[in-house]
Structure 1
Amino acid sequence: MTWFLLLLCSTFLVCRAAVCPCERPELCHQIREERDFEVFVFDVGGMTWKSYNWSMITTIATFGKYDAELLCHAHSYGARVVLKGDVPLSYIVDQDNRTAWITEKVELAKSQFMDGINIDIEQQVEEGSPEYQALTDLVRESTEAFHREIPGSQVSFDVAWSPKCIDKRCYDYVAIASSCDLLFVMSYDEQSQIMDACIAKANAPLSQTLNGYEQYLNLKIEPKQLVMGLPWYGYDYPCLNLSKEGICSIAKVPFRGAPCSDAAGKQKPYKWIMQQVNISLSGRLWDDTQKAPYFNYKDSNGQIHQVWYDDPQSICPKANYVKSKGLRGIGMWNGNILDYSGEPVAKQQTAAMWNVLLGC
């Protein structure tokens, strides 16, 4: 009798966990349709997702708490919702640990009616190390498990803006690309390692950004495996000195072997940037070398700051490159940080940021 009660209890818990949270049961079916063009959105929580441009979105990577309402809404538009996958690489060097982690993620996705996983591991790895091989194995085995257990599911992997060991992330990019459905290329934080003058620069300069894609393509990674990730945020740098030419010297904050980095500044959402530029000292300025906007302002303590960011003008040629090269799609970090207040000017600015994703 005891074993029967345990079995009954176990069955009840499984069934309870798998109860569809959507008003329409068909919205709990995993999305299997493959889109020709991906618009890949990271969501970090809250309710701003209700104001996204859902006519464009194909995949939502949930980096906040699980939100059943978001899942149902996304599925009603045919958009996938995928888990975040992160784990210390030292842990998954062991095959049993790796298999257990993958099994846990697959079961979690199934119980929440989700459509795959976005593996976001930004840890430094030395080429040829045990972690180097374990990471490649993790991506391959995760893809095999998800595709087997959730037919039509999507497995993506986040990579730096260039495959050239950025931030000491020396991964086997070719093997990883061939092992999953797509690579989300984080074309931002491109000043994480400043090897020359310690000055404020664009978060994602155009030539540097596009050169990163040429490097991936030169590795014979298929264009249809690459999604361009854009920053919907900028960096606010306190200037140690602002020269007559407008160059902002920044504090030396080392990072993974570089003497300076963008850690000297603070990340600021586009919503804040659009408000701050209106009360800045300089107003919006444009750097024609980096093809990026910036502005200077003075804080309440009299400190001069320089803010670099992306807007429709700087995103436009990047989005056009995606189309011209036949890349898999485009996306951003992250969807939550525009101004969704509905105020007329903010509404126009927010719509422009969404619309430019498809080119100009």
Structure 2
Amino acid sequence: MRIHVVQQGESLWQIAQYYGSNINQIILVNQLSNPNVVVIGQALVIPETNKEYVIQKGDTLWSIAQRFGVTTGELAEMNNIADPSLLYIGEMLILPYFTYVVQPGDNLWGIANRNGVTVSQIVQANNISNPALINVGTPLRIPAAARPSTEINAYTTQTTPQGAQEVIALGEHFTYLTPFMYAIRADGTLTDMQDTALLDAAEAQNIAPLLVVTNFANNSFDSDLAATILRSPDLQDTLITNLLEIIQTKGYEGVNFDFEYVYPEDRENYNAFLRKVVERFKPEGLLVSTALAPKITADQQGLLYEAHDYQAHGEIVDFVVIMTYEWGWAGGEPWAIAPINKVREVLDYAVTVIPRDKILMGIPLYGRDWKIPWVDGTFARTVSPQEAVALAARYGVPIEYDQEYQSPYFRYTDESGQQHEVWFEDARSIQAKYDTMKIYGLRGGSYWVLGTAFPQNWPVLQTNFKVRKL
């Protein structure tokens, strides 16, 4: 897979010709509703011919395997396909092998080195008896290079049939699914959630569902509600017992605590509560995780940050989700949602107190459209990356890219004369985030949130990582 940024005067046909790629494969993987319209600065994913294949109408796993001379089992294993009947148009598959024709001056060591595989892998794939002797013009089957393994969590607020269908369609990309949310009550009980369809979808795609618990009440995170539970050992016991009952009844495989705006004086109470949860959950084989605000120092001031004890959480729970997004929040000034320099500033601190193999880095799957000049008290509209590109196309404006933030943005003027500024994610910005996960050696990433169309993300993820399934 390659990422191509559209230049002035280019057409999709020209781009396809340049890469020697099938134009229909480009249309499908990018979910282009109008192939005749591309935007200057738009980032397109270009599948590599003979290395990747985008599923088209009428395809089956068997027909694709036959076309490329591989087995359905090899295709399924390479692409985390749990059910061969669950294939979707526009889904990109990485092929287990591709063909390379031996050129003058080639040797197996050079071919292997260039393609990220070993000589023995090529020898085995081609039944070569004498590795020192290969003839010019000979077609060789080259195994796909191994990708690093990672874990991916996805939050979803979509409890509709469409939400469950999205989980099924994208399920090969997820280790965990975190339906949002169950909220605590002051008596240690929890609100209910219509999560059956999501849990069935997770099971179909071999995804581990984690129950999300929050202190959310009356449309906001409630500091007093958290305090009520965290300051009462008896209520904590009641809450944990209720949690275990729901988890065991519904088939969750663990819990993710998203307690936000907790009073600073409850910091140690929160840590003690988590220890108690782990003590009850571990014998049941259940995972315990937390969501943490993006801090850059241990003593960072602010109600969002102070009770989140990075070092303690890193010692107590199985893993943490660091919410490295929302710099460009709906009620603030226009800015990148997750500027990579700010994300890395948080990680620079986090890795000093939390084991790297316990950190999932937060990744936004959305953008925002602000009215400008910005006025305090106004709120931006959330847009999907796909919708953002459509806005740029509709108003005939080019997409810019901020190198410091590693984020695309543009400005436009609507029909009423109102000016707007849009920041969002694209294939380049998401690649920068996956590069960051690799550089910092993290356990993986965590998406907020499903339900927004971002087709370029999935092939970029696939190219970078093999997502681990439990």
How is 1:1-360 mapped onto 2 (pairs within 5 angstroms)? 37-45=150-158, 46=160, 47-51=162-166, 52-63=169-180, 65-87=193-215, 88-92=225-229, 93-126=231-264, 129=265, 131-148=266-283, 150-151=284-285, 153-164=286-297, 165=300, 167-168=302-303, 169-170=305-306, 171-191=308-328, 199-219=333-353, 221-240=354-373, 250-253=374-377, 264-338=379-453, 350=455, 352-358=456-462, 360=464
Q: Say if 1:281 and 1:296, in contact at 8 Å, map to a contact too.
A: no
Tell me the SS of whatever aligns to 1:227: strand
TM-score w.r.t. length of structure 1: 0.73
Deviation readout 1:26-69 (Å, 9 max, x if unpaired): xxxxxxxxx96211011112223423322221100011643323
Q: Kindly tell me the number of residue pairs found equivalent between the two proteins.
A: 288
Q: Pairwise CA RMSD of aligned residues?
A: 2.5
Moved more, 185-194 or 231-240: 185-194
Tell me the SS of whatever aligns to 1:275: helix
- The letter of the residue matching 2:233 is Q
Moved more, 161-170 or 71-80: 161-170
The 1:75/1:270 distance shift into structure 2, 3 A limit, reads same
Rg larger for: 2
Ranges in structure 1 where 5+ consecutive residues have no aligned partner? 1-34, 241-249, 254-262, 339-348
- 1:284, distance to aligned residue in structure 2 (A): 1.4
Q: Say if 1:224 and 1:326, in contact at 8 Å, map to a contact too.
A: yes
TM-score w.r.t. length of structure 2: 0.57
Q: Say if 1:280 and 1:296, in contact at 8 Å, map to a contact too.
A: no
Deviation readout 1:197-231 (Å, 9 max, x if unpaired): x8522111111111111110122x10001001111
- The letter of the residue matching 2:177 is I
Q: C-alpha separation between the residues in 2 aligned to 1:210 and 1:113?
A: 36
Q: Say if 2:359 and 2:444, in contact at 8 Å, map to a contact too.
A: yes
Tell me the SS of whatever aligns to 1:91: helix
The 1:100/1:299 distance shift into structure 2, 3 A limit, reads farther
Moved more, 208-217 or 293-302: 293-302
Q: C-alpha separation between the residues in 1 aligned to 2:384 and 2:228?
A: 34
Q: C-alpha separation between the residues in 1 aligned to 2:463 and 2:342?
A: 19
Identity of aligned residues (%): 22
Tell me the SS of whatever aligns to 1:90: helix
Q: C-alpha separation between the residues in 2 aligned to 1:309 and 1:166?
A: 28
Q: C-alpha separation between the residues in 2 aligned to 1:206 and 1:167?
A: 22
Q: Say if 2:407 and 2:424, in contact at 8 Å, map to a contact too.
A: yes
Q: C-alpha separation between the residues in 2 aligned to 1:147 and 1:85?
A: 18
Tell me the equivalent position of 1:342. none
- The letter of the residue matching 1:162 is K
Q: Say if 2:296 and 2:348, in contact at 8 Å, map to a contact too.
A: no
Tell me the SS of whatever aligns to 1:203: coil
The 1:267/1:114 distance shift into structure 2, 3 A limit, reads same
Q: C-alpha separation between the residues in 2 aligned to 1:336 and 1:329?
A: 21
Q: C-alpha separation between the residues in 2 aligned to 1:285 and 1:311?
A: 11
Ranges in structure 2 where 5+ consecutive residues have no aligned partner? 1-147, 182-192, 216-224, 465-470
Q: Say if 2:327 and 2:335, in contact at 8 Å, map to a contact too.
A: no
